Amino acid sequence: MVPETWIYATWLVKAFLYLGTACVIGGAFCYLLLKSHIELKRIIIKYVTVGAGLGLFSSILSFFILIGSFSNTGFSGMWDSNYINILINTSTGHAYVIRSTSFLLLFLFMLLKLSSRVRITKIEGSIFAALLIPIVFSFSQLGHVTNLSLFAQILLSIHVLAMSLWIGSLYPLWKTSKIINGLALKESMHLFGKIAAFIVGILIACGASVALLLLKNFNTLLNTPYGHGFIIKIVFVLCIFLLAAFNKWYFTPRLQHPKFAKQLSYAILFEMSLGLAILLTTSYITTVVGVE
């Protein structure tokens, strides 16, 4: 296999990892946000379970893809025991193991909740949150800010958390617009809109700070593949912010009317497609291109 094959495989698997993380974090957030709507709880639990499974699968697969890229002996090189033993004893290997273990425990926990009552106690919620911490922080240990300061790594971790809250909430919100109607839907969307304004502020502050640390000067933004990819990502982000603002200020005040609820569901679907484009672009510039 040519080296480019491993790079593009890493890109796609990382996109799935972003998506799985977003499903888990955004789903957990919506479980709390929409806890008064019993009919949504099992749907959200299933959503978080799928996200945890996707995160587990992509975490394990990304490790073996890395092994394959090292051995460079084709598909069978992914199982090269010599490289596995070497990598597993490095800080990179430790990060992969911790992240995979966290996703595994989350997945098993969610399966248990699906097979029993869907109510999650405060103690279970605390355990859930504790398992999310190493997952979120792992992005700064296996990504393009690994060589930057601890402060930059924390900023990136917060950025990933906020991004996951936003994008991961879109599917549960879409289901809400299909199941709930009238004043209850309006109140739920209004509450999310107020919280989302705070999330946007964190996204912008942390994202801009990390970008300034990575892009040393304006020429890097304009004259490098990473800079070009970053600009494309910013365009997608601006589009999703504008759409979210339109949803908040136009649709939400009118959701007591059924036709606006239907239109909102279409708008959220489009917002979900923009979110997916952001995840694909982010994973592309952090794996295929990289900061030069």
Residue type, 203: L
* Alpha-helix residue ranges (DSSP H) falling in the chain: 3-33, 38-71, 81-88, 91-115, 122-141, 150-179, 182-214, 218-223, 225-246, 258-284
User: Distance (Å, rounded) from C-alpha 193 to C-alpha 87?
Assistant: 44
pLDDT digits (tens, 9 = 90+) for 70-113: 887 878 889 888 999 999 999 999 999 999 999 999 999 999 98
How many Cβ atoms from other residues are within 10 Å of residue 76's Cβ?
Answer: 9
Kindly state the average pLDDT of the residues 267-281: 95
Q: Indicate the DSSP class of residue 235.
A: H
Distances (CA, A) of 147 to 119, 157, 226, 282: 41, 14, 17, 18
Percent of the chain scored above 90 by pLDDT? Answer: 58
Among residues 171, 164, 163, which one has the least CA distance to residue 268? 171
pLDDT band at 291 (very low <50, low <70, confident <90, very high): low
pLDDT digits (tens, 9 = 90+) for 106-141: 999 999 988 876 677 788 889 999 999 999 999 988
Residues 6 or more apart whose CB falls under 8 angstroms from that of 233 comprise 278, 281, 282, 285
Single pTM value for the model: 0.94
User: Distance (Å, rounded) from C-alpha 161 to C-alpha 82?
Assistant: 35
pLDDT digits (tens, 9 = 90+) for 208-267: 888 888 877 777 778 888 888 999 999 999 999 999 999 889 988 888 888 888 899 999
Among 15-19, 116-120, 177-181, where is mean pLDDT lowest? 116-120
* Alpha-helix residue ranges (DSSP H) falling in 180-257: 182-214, 218-223, 225-246
